[in-house]
Structure 1
Amino acid sequence: MISADGISPSDETSSALRRLRALPQHDLLTLAGDWFGELAPWRSAETLGAIAGLPAERVLASLLVFGEQVTETEAREDVPGPLIDLLLDTGVLTESAGKLTAEYCLVRGDGLALFAAWRAAGRDVGSYAPWIGTDSITLARLVGARRGVGSCLDLGCGTGVLGLAAARNGANVRSVDVNPECTAATTLNAHVNGVADRVTATAGDILSLSLDERFDLVVSNPPCLPLRRGALGWLAGEAGLDGLDFFWELLSRAPGLLTDDGEALLQAAAYGDERGPFFISRLEEEVRRLGVLGRLLVRPATPPRWPAFAPRDENQQLTGPLGDEVREYVARVGATHYYGFVLSLRPGDPGLAVGRFR
């Protein structure tokens, strides 16, 4: 399991750690397949050419981008010893019989270098967390476009990408996740990207978190698929058959966490039909009840989506009790489409505007 115990402030400014930030690597935005989670490392000629003449980068790419084993002797010949020691101390690398294996992949998202679970890069090994997907990168870009943010709360931080996008603009960030593997990854990723002095990651359940602070920006990309708590190795939570349990809870709490000029950005996904998501009428009622101004941005529709990595048959249909339950629900509500979305909430005249990503 990844750990933040092996890092110190001096590591952040070391030339060895900066090498990770510059490492040529695949970009998640180039990897999206037809199914969420079907991502694979980018092995383009440009990437291979960039690392071909650089021994240290070639070794690091073999380990962290392509998931290949490298002998420790070979690695230490080309890669600075302090960097190898750091990656071993934090659990990113493990050693067995003289060979090094990367337990996490290194991916790039919107200019950030992020340690994430290998399953985010399409390899069926290791943990399911910290997860990152193209939806995370989209939301990170929206976060990065918010300037003048002094304080940010990232709920369900995962890799930390959302909070890091705010910290890169100068915000002080509090990142929270129920999974200690995610809070450790967030801390390590903050060091890798040079913003560790502005990011504090703490373990906690986002649905029972008690906070007295108010923030200029609250961001969250919570679970939005019907996985059971702890299922498939995920320490996240069950989002209900419609995938919105976390969303509704966060929506009710977000206004009380904002400063007078603050904003919340909540991302999730919902079932619908060709006209749009089913939940919009309820959302409009909730926004008015909470007394806030909401703007909903809806992504292009896909077919109804199943949980990533859940067991499926040869036709890509869910199998087992969860599959039966989800299929019965989708048929009962008449869902034919599945919409990702981002909701912006601000203090202001209550109401909801609905738009679409272009």
Structure 2
Amino acid sequence: MGAMPTAPIDRLRSDLTDAGFTVQQLDGLWPDAAADALRRGHPSSARRALGRLERSPRTTLAALFLLGDPVPAADAAAALPALGIDGAVELGLLRVADGSAAAALDLQPYAFRDRHGEGHWWLLSDLGERMRGGEPLPEDHVLGIGGATLTLSGLIPPARPDGGRFAAALDLGTGCGIQALHAARHADRVVATDISHRALRLAELNARLNGVVTIEFRHGDLLDPVAGERFDLVVSNPPFVITPRVDGVPAYEYRDGGRVGDALVEEVVRGIAGVLAPGGVAQLLGNWEHRWGADGLDRAAGWAREAGLGHWIVERERQDPALYAETWIRDGGTRPGTPAFASLLDAWLDDFEARGVLGVGFGYMLLTADPGLARSERLTGALGDTPAGLGEHLHARLAARAAIVGLDDAALLRIRFARAVDVTEERHYWPGEPDPTVLLLRQGGGFARTIEAGTGLAALVGASDGELALGQLTAAIAALLEADPAALAAELAEQVRELVTAGLLDPLVEIAAGEPA
């Protein structure tokens, strides 16, 4: 791609700003249905809508970078007056031939929201399969904004568990740099690493394009570039895709870490223990294999436990080996029904069969320096309404857990608790019966959990408004149920700890600490 001098990047930023090349302003060019179709990779409706508009810098840039259409070089020059055609070619942004200009890189506007407010960036990456006319991707392809990108960015915690700002963050396998940009909103300093020279150069360009100067880019394999250093935030969308290690199977740098099976994710998890600072937290995505006699989620939890890390691992999906293989073969641009596709599928299935793989799990891995956190679960339904992302929810849960983790039951009973505002109760009755047969507590945000509760727990959650301490509530509920107060208090105390971590109850330690039950 050549050197990336600062002046052309500044001029590109100026042109994009002047053209209004943002998500909000571009969505105004076409109906919502066309925008949705474009996000699914179908540009026809948006192209028709754009064709009815008068040509402008914004419509020209939309045609080039969102639709993938060539435009007259004169129109491209008018859309990029500060950068100019020569500057765009120098940056590797455009290809120009025979009076026509076409995108040489993918340039996408990106909008987001976090605890600091709303923001927008521009992100450069390599052209995807649609923009390449269906050609398979090169092995040094640098991926842009995708589903996994958005998932991880939403999972990044906004602060340390104690509420402080992160001093140093690590983005392991930065790709186009989007996670490093997000981390820079919460950390004073960010180090971004990748084994791909091309990815690092695009990531650095994106940081400059968006005016972020607190990111340092380093080349190397996994954690090698940061050996001996410590970080209080680690984020990673590592190259976790399980790929056969045989000739003829492409090894894409953005997704293939060169290890057998899920060994790459295991290596990352174990290695994070060596770079995570006291009180630090790591958030990553990963795959794990379910094998004969070995549950994949249990295996993933074992990696963290053996490394001395606390863990909260959520499996969001489990795929059949054949479906997993088909997904990633198509992702590389090889089309189903071709001899090449069949050959690759056989290679994948042979590889899985050799290790006795029954399925592949995908999910989120939250790791902490607190080995007392040990939670792994399967949550495959729809997520709750969490506008600022699951990172905020997870941060709040770690902070709430930290407030009570060292308390015995006697101390816990002196704490007041408040029911989360998104919790509702659902009751089911047999016809004609006055008492419910099933009580369900539902969470509207976070992971949208549904918890079956006994009468005592449902009554406790319903009464938890921060006014009375847990001990006072359990005593009153025991009297109503004609239950043994001590036994009920012990039972409910254990369940309260779980509801605090899950996010249905919050401890009001600053109000109730030290008060008698």
What is the match of residue 143 of structure 2?
131
User: Which of 225, 228, 231 is equivalent to 1:212?
Assistant: 228
Q: Return the letter of the residue paired with 1:104.
A: L
1:159 to partner: Cα distance: 0.9
Larger radius of gyration: 2
* 1:79 and 2:95 are equivalent in the alignment: no
Cα distance in 2 between the residues matched to 1:9 and 1:73: 19
Q: 1:159 to 1:22 in 2, by over 3 A?
A: same
Specify every segment of 5 or more residues in structure 2 that has no aligned partner in the other structure, as ranges: 113-120, 384-517
TM (norm. structure 1) is: 0.80
What is the match of residue 122 of structure 2?
113
Q: 1:53 to 1:270 in 2, by over 3 A?
A: farther
1:160 to partner: Cα distance: 0.8
- 8 Å contact 2:301–2:376 — kept in the other structure? no
1:81 to partner: Cα distance: 3.5
Cα distance in 1 between the residues matched to 2:74 and 2:38: 36
What is the match of residue 361 of structure 2?
339
Q: Return the letter of the residue paired with 1:16.
A: D
1:312 to partner: Cα distance: 5.6
| Secondary structure, aligned partner of 2:193 | strand
1:153-302 counterparts in 2 under 5 A? 153-195=170-212, 197-206=213-222, 208-223=224-239, 224-226=241-243, 232=250, 234-235=252-253, 237-242=256-261, 244-272=262-290, 278-302=295-319
* 1:58 and 2:78 are equivalent in the alignment: no
Cα distance in 2 between the residues matched to 1:295 and 1:87: 45
1:325 to partner: Cα distance: 3.4
1:157 to partner: Cα distance: 0.9
| Secondary structure, aligned partner of 1:349 | coil
1:117 to partner: Cα distance: 2.0
What is the match of residue 36 of structure 1?
none
1:150 to partner: Cα distance: 2.9
| Secondary structure, aligned partner of 1:5 | coil
| Secondary structure, aligned partner of 1:226 | coil
Q: How many residues align?
A: 347
Stretch deviating more after TM superposition (120-129 or 299-308): 120-129
CA offsets per residue over residues 23-69 of structure 1, 9 Å max, x none? 62799x96899xxxxx6255655994699456001111111111111
Cα distance in 1 between the residues matched to 2:71 and 2:167: 43
User: Which of 376, 389, 392 is equivalent to 1:354?
Assistant: 376
1:121 to partner: Cα distance: 5.5
Cα distance in 2 between the residues matched to 1:241 and 1:61: 41
Larger RCO (CA under 8 A, 6+ residues apart): 1
| Secondary structure, aligned partner of 2:227 | coil
1:247 to partner: Cα distance: 0.9
Cα distance in 1 between the residues matched to 2:251 and 2:37: 23
Stretch deviating more after TM superposition (344-353 or 154-163): 344-353
Cα distance in 2 between the residues matched to 1:203 and 1:179: 7
Query: What's the Cα RMSD here?
Result: 3.9
- 8 Å contact 2:244–2:347 — kept in the other structure? no
Cα distance in 2 between the residues matched to 1:340 and 1:146: 25
| Secondary structure, aligned partner of 1:136 | helix
Cα distance in 2 between the residues matched to 1:200 and 1:48: 42
Stretch deviating more after TM superposition (302-311 or 43-52): 43-52
Identity %: 23
Q: Return the letter of the residue paired with 2:124.
A: F
| Secondary structure, aligned partner of 2:274 | helix
| Secondary structure, aligned partner of 2:156 | helix
Q: 1:45 to 1:10 in 2, by over 3 A?
A: closer
- 8 Å contact 2:245–2:260 — kept in the other structure? no
1:169 to partner: Cα distance: 3.6
Cα distance in 2 between the residues matched to 1:340 and 1:83: 44
| Secondary structure, aligned partner of 1:219 | strand
| Secondary structure, aligned partner of 1:74 | helix
What is the match of residue 22 of structure 1?
22
Q: Return the letter of the residue paired with 2:221.
A: D
Q: Return the letter of the residue paired with 2:14.
A: S
1:8 to partner: Cα distance: 3.6
Cα distance in 1 between the residues matched to 2:317 and 2:359: 9
What is the match of residue 309 of structure 1?
332
* 1:327 and 2:349 are equivalent in the alignment: yes
Stretch deviating more after TM superposition (131-140 or 6-15): 6-15
What is the match of residue 494 of structure 2?
none
- 8 Å contact 1:118–1:127 — kept in the other structure? no
- 8 Å contact 2:304–2:310 — kept in the other structure? yes
